[in-house]
Amino acid sequence: MSIKSRFLVALLLIAGGGATYYVRVYLPRHRALGELAYVLPGSLAMVTTPAEVRQVVATLKSGDRVEVLARTRNWMRVRALGGPTGWVESKDMLDAETYGRGQRLLKELSSPPQARGHCETLVNLHLEPSRDAPLLGELGNNQKVDIFERRLVERSSQPDDPRGEATRRDAWYLVRADSRAGWILGRLVELDMPESLAPYAQGTNMVAWLVLTTVTDQGREAPEYLVADRVGAQDLDFNHIRVFTWWKKRHHYVTAYVEGHLNGYFPLRAMRVNNTPYFRLRLMDASGRQYQKVYEMSDTIVRRVGVVEGWESDAMPQSRKASVPKPVRTRRARHHGRRGA
C-alpha cells in the first residue's frame, strides 16, 4: 500500500472516530432537550454565540423560564418560552430542581409576616441561610420584603482570618419578595414599621409587629399592635414586648402592656378565640426548655393566660386567675433611627 493510500486510510479512521465520539459521547453530554432552567440575575442578555464577537438576541429577567437545548462547559443554548433561541452563561441560570425547592419554601410561608422592610442594595437570595447555599435569584435595591424568620449563622472561616478572633455570626432573614422566597443577610434590610408606630420606637430596636385587632374611630380602622423589641442582646429574636391600643378620646396609641426579660424567638403568633384576640410567644429558659406564653386581650386589657410546653403546640393553657395589668400611657417619641437584623 502506498504512502498516499495509508494517509487516506488514517484520515478516514480519524474522521470516523471523531464522528463516533461526537454522536456517542459529545451529543449525549451536551444535549438537554426538554430540561428547564430559570434566570438568576435581574437582567440577563441572551446572545447569538459564546464567541467574543456576538449580538444580543433578547434580554431576560430574573425568574424567566427557558428550555435548555445544549450545554458546553460554561454556556447553555436556550430557547425562551414562546420566543427566540440563544446562548447564556451557565452561572446565571438556576436548575429546575433548585427552583422547585425555592417554590416549596414560598408555599410554606402561609402565616402573617413578623415584619416588613426593603433591600438597601442588590441582595442575593439564597435557598438556605448561608453564603455558600444555592442562589435563588437577586433582589434589587428598594425591593419590598416580608420577613418571617431570623437565624444567626456562623460565618465560614477564611484562610486570612486573624488567629484567636471570636467567631463571627451573620443574622439572616427568611423573606418573601413577590413570588419568590429565600434567605438574605439581615444587615442588608431596612425595616419599614407602620408609620403610626414610628413615634414609639425611640430608644428601642423594634423588630416585629402583629395586628391583634382593629377599632373604628371616626370612620377609619385603627390597628392595635403587639410589638417585639430586641434591646442589647443579639442571640435572641426579641427580649421585650409591648401592646399598643388605640385611645379614641385623644386619637393616638397608648401602651397597654409591657414585659421584658424574655428569651424570645420568631414567630410571634396572633389569633382569635371566640372573637377574643390572643397571642403566643415562643420562649426558652436557661436550661433550653422550649415553651409558649399565651396572652388574652379584652378591650384594652392584656393578661397572661398561662404556659404551654413546646413551640409547636396549638393547645390553650388551663384558665387561671391572673393579675390584670393597668394600661400605661406612653410618651410620644422623636424620629427613630436604623433598626433590625
> 150: domain range?
109-154+168-188
Question: Does residue 113 sit in the same domain as residue 65?
Answer: no
Question: Does residue 49 sit in the same domain as residue 133?
Answer: no
Residue 322 has a pLDDT of 40
Question: Does residue 56 sit in the same domain as residue 79?
Answer: yes
User: What's the whole-number average pLDDT of the chain?
Assistant: 86
Question: Does residue 88 sit in the same domain as residue 135?
Answer: no
Q: Is residue 285 part of a domain?
A: yes
Q: Is residue 52 part of a domain?
A: yes
Q: How far is the CA of 19 from the CAs of 12, 24, 27, 240, 330, in angstroms?
A: 10, 8, 11, 72, 82
Question: Does residue 212 sit in the same domain as residue 130?
Answer: no
DSSP 3-state of 174: strand
Q: Is residue 233 part of a domain?
A: yes
Residue 170 reports pLDDT greater than 80:
yes
- Do 183 and 172 meet the contact criterion of CB atoms below 8 Å apart? yes
Q: From 333, 340, 284, select the one nearest 309 (Cα to Cα).
A: 284
Q: Is residue 319 part of a domain?
A: no
Cell of 147: 420577613
What average pLDDT does this structure show over 92-120? 95
Tens digits of per-residue pLDDT, 45-71?
Answer: 999 999 999 999 999 988 899 999 999
Question: Does residue 207 sit in the same domain as residue 305?
Answer: yes
For the ranges 7-21, 28-42, 158-172, which has the lowest average pLDDT?
7-21
Question: Does residue 181 sit in the same domain as residue 256?
Answer: no
pTM of the model: 0.79
Can you tell me the distance from the alpha carbon of 268 to that of 279, in angstroms, rounded to the nearest whole number? 7
Question: Does residue 260 sit in the same domain as residue 301?
Answer: yes
Q: From 50, 47, 83, 48, select the one nearest 64 (Cα to Cα).
A: 83
Can you tell me the distance from the alpha carbon of 269 to that of 274, in angstroms, rounded to the nearest whole number? 16
pLDDT band at 333 (very low <50, low <70, confident <90, very high): very low
Sign of CA dihedral 41, 45, 47, 49: negative
DSSP 3-state of 97: helix
User: How many domains are contained in the chain?
Assistant: 3
Question: Percentage of residues in the chain with pLDDT exceeding 90?
Answer: 70
Question: Does residue 284 sit in the same domain as residue 209?
Answer: yes
Residue 26 has a pLDDT of 46
What average pLDDT does this structure show over 117-143? 95
pLDDT band at 156 (very low <50, low <70, confident <90, very high): confident
Residue 94 has a pLDDT of 93
- Do 214 and 272 meet the contact criterion of CB atoms below 8 Å apart? no
Q: How far is the CA of 45 from the CAs of 3, 56, 61, 99, 180, in angstroms?
A: 52, 6, 9, 20, 22
Residue 323 has a pLDDT of 40
Q: Is residue 213 part of a domain?
A: yes
Q: From 46, 53, 102, select the one nearest 76 (Cα to Cα).
A: 46
Q: Is residue 316 part of a domain?
A: no
Cell of 278: 390572643
For the ranges 2-11, 51-60, 134-143, which has the lowest average pLDDT?
2-11
Question: Does residue 295 sit in the same domain as residue 212?
Answer: yes
Q: Is residue 163 part of a domain?
A: no
Residue 23 reports pLDDT greater than 50:
no
What average pLDDT does this structure show over 325-331? 42
Residue 73 reports pLDDT greater than 70:
yes
Q: Which residues pair with 190 in a beta bridge?
A: 118
Question: Does residue 65 sit in the same domain as residue 117?
Answer: no
CATH assignment of the domain containing 141 = 2.30.30
Question: Does residue 85 sit in the same domain as residue 43?
Answer: yes
CATH assignment of the domain containing 54 = 2.30.30.40
Tens digits of per-residue pLDDT, 209-227?
Answer: 999 999 999 999 999 999 9
Amino acid making up residue 146: D
Tens digits of per-residue pLDDT, 237-279?
Answer: 999 999 999 999 889 999 999 999 999 999 999 999 999 999 9
Q: Is residue 216 part of a domain?
A: yes
